[in-house]
Amino acid sequence: MNKHKLIIIGGGIAGLSSAFYAQKQNLDFLLIESGARLGGVINTQKTSLNYILEQGPNSLALGSTLKEITNNLNIALLPAQAIAKKKLIFINNKLIAINSLTGLFEVLSLKTFFKIAQEFFHKTPIASQNISIGEFFENHFGAEIVNNLLWPILSGIYAGNPYKLEFASVFPELYKISQNHPSLLMGLIKDKPTAKFKREIFSTESGLFGLIEQIQSFIPPEKIILNIPITSIKEKEAGFIINNSFQTEKIILAVPAYIACNLCPEFLADLNQIYYAPIITLNFWLKESKEPSGVAYLDQYKNAFGFLSARPQNTPLLGTVFNSALFPSHAPNMAITCFIGGANYPELINCSLEEIQKIALQELIKALPQTTESDFELKNYKYWPQGIPQYNLGHRALIEAVQAKLPQNLKLAGNYLKGISLEDSAYSGKTALRELFG
């Protein structure tokens, strides 16, 4: 039987981050991945001419963990163009840039600005742990801010519903502030949160998978095993037996919650309550022949990160990323990734590609009205039946209860714990290793 000090199960960014820090400490460890490659949902495809099509995450917002890893490995990150700072909201059938005050005045009414000013004098008691983002913000600032700003932002990040997502889990720092101050805005001024809301956006020249390849190349190949799905973990003496084949003192379990719950049901069964919203990604390019006609109109919009859909639009198109604006070297002409479905339209995951493509294009041309469906060419697509974990009401208590039951030598990592971004997932992997080995 193979014996190790540590086995990391799952080779997404969370497991790879644990493996990076384990390798830095020169630990005796093994990373076991069920798939044929590392990276998990990072799914970079290339066209015949080596242009980039991202089917999973499109870019990363660099925080301290990924900064540390990429600096250490001298990974050449590709920064997004400055124009990516421009964020658009699709509302009242038009695209509005919300970076400026004038844009915000188009998205929010005077009544809401008045409510924002009034919030400084908010007197209601502190938020309970069991409050949704929608409920909290509606209570403090009115429904419009939820529908026109939070709905699109949370659709873009979580493919979720603000009235189901838990405030304490999605915005832990704001939740903490709201525990001490009846007015959130006053609390923000007094407590000065440490979380960085504006992070730089990156990829690599070869897309996000380039990051995975470079982290992988730092880890000796004999420490990585692919194509082995872990199906059982049993406690034995001071450690564990995995798949009746591997023995280890410690485990980092970096697989999705819906897999983890079956591997050691005695501690993790409750993780099956975490719902993963389905999502479909479609990579479109504006056809080259069409570009000149559409370009005059599109120019004002295509120099932006992309757009997110406000609630009143009532659309299954959660949002889009204008990949060619972020990373011009990734595409020869205008490239747009569309995200369809999410927690509010879960049934769409059962639609055929033809149906989904039609829905995506119908919605896309509403936002870009001088284009027609035939202007776009579908380059690639991917269905994610269990795409994004939802930090719905009860999430925080559930995670705390599960963590409390865990044996000391088993830690969890992954996007259902500390945030769903690549940065947060990598941070969860780093934290798990630190908790086991200091």
**Residue 9 binds to ligand FAD (criterion: CB under 6 A):** yes
**Residue 264 binds to ligand FAD (criterion: CB under 6 A):** no
Report, in Å, the least distance between residue 271 CB and ligand FAD.
13
First to last CA, the chain: 27
**Residue 388 binds to ligand FAD (criterion: CB under 6 A):** yes
Residue 422: is it exposed, middle or buried by C-beta count within 10 angstroms (0-12/13-18/19+)? Answer: buried
Identity of the residue numbered 371: T
Identity of the residue, 57 or 142, whose beta carbon is nearer to ligand FAD in the bound complex: 57
Identity of the residue, 59 or 183, whose beta carbon is nearer to ligand FAD in the bound complex: 59
Reported as half-sphere exposure (CB side, CA atoms, 13 A), residue 36 has a value of: 1
DSSP for 218-231? HS-GGGEE-S----
**Residue 97 binds to ligand FAD (criterion: CB under 6 A):** no
**Residue 251 binds to ligand FAD (criterion: CB under 6 A):** no
Report, in Å, the least distance between residue 406 CB and ligand FAD.
17
- Site map 52..91 versus ligand FAD, x via CB under 6 A: ----xxxxx-------------------------------
Query: What are the structure tokens assigned to 231, written together?
Result: 């199906």
Binding residue for ligand FAD (CB under 6 A) from 187, 207, 306, 414? 414
Q: Which one of the spans 40-48, 90-98, 147-155, 328-336 is the region binding ligand FAD (CB under 6 A)?
A: 40-48
* Whole-Å CA distances, 147 to 164, 342, 388, 400, 428: 13, 16, 21, 30, 31
**Residue 436 binds to ligand FAD (criterion: CB under 6 A):** no
d(CA 387, CA 400) in angstroms, rounded, equals: 23
Query: What are the structure tokens assigned to 130, written together?
Result: 């069991």
Binding residue for ligand FAD (CB under 6 A) from 420, 432, 433, 436? 420
**Residue 10 binds to ligand FAD (criterion: CB under 6 A):** yes
- Site map 274..313 versus ligand FAD, x via CB under 6 A: -----x-x--------------------------------
Q: Which one of the spans 99-107, 170-178, 322-330, 384-392 is the region binding ligand FAD (CB under 6 A)?
A: 384-392
Taking CA 359 as the corner, what is the angle to CA 355 and CA 365, rounded to the nearest 5 degrees?
140
* Whole-Å CA distances, 92 to 96, 101, 147, 354, 362: 9, 18, 12, 27, 16
**Residue 432 binds to ligand FAD (criterion: CB under 6 A):** no
Taking CA 270 as the corner, what is the angle to CA 266 and CA 272, rounded to the nearest 5 degrees?
115
* Whole-Å CA distances, 396 to 65, 146, 391, 430: 23, 22, 8, 20
* Whole-Å CA distances, 435 to 230, 383, 432: 23, 35, 5
Query: What are the structure tokens assigned to 30, written together?
Result: 């093994």
Q: Which residues pair with 320 in a beta bridge?
A: 338
- For strands 201-203 and 410-412, give the pairing: unpaired
Taking CA 156 as the corner, what is the angle to CA 117 and CA 172, rounded to the nearest 5 degrees?
60
Q: Are 335 and 265 in contact, with CB atoms under 8 Å apart? A: no
**Residue 271 binds to ligand FAD (criterion: CB under 6 A):** no
**Residue 33 binds to ligand FAD (criterion: CB under 6 A):** yes
* Whole-Å CA distances, 148 to 91, 92, 142, 151, 365: 7, 10, 11, 6, 20
- Site map 306..335 versus ligand FAD, x via CB under 6 A: ------------------------------
Q: Which one of the spans 88-96, 112-120, 216-224, 413-421 is the region binding ligand FAD (CB under 6 A)?
A: 413-421
Identity of the residue, 60 or 131, whose beta carbon is nearer to ligand FAD in the bound complex: 60
Subset of 191-250 contacting ligand FAD (CB under 6 A): 229-230
Binding residue for ligand FAD (CB under 6 A) from 6, 31, 41, 359? 41
**Residue 18 binds to ligand FAD (criterion: CB under 6 A):** no
Q: Which one of the spans 115-123, 133-141, 217-225, 421-429 is the region binding ligand FAD (CB under 6 A)?
A: 421-429
Count interface residues toward ligand FAD (CB under 6 A): 36
**Residue 385 binds to ligand FAD (criterion: CB under 6 A):** no
Q: Which residues bind ligand FAD (CB under 6 A)?
A: 9-15, 32-35, 40-42, 56-60, 229-230, 254-256, 259, 279, 281, 384, 387-388, 414-415, 420-422, 425
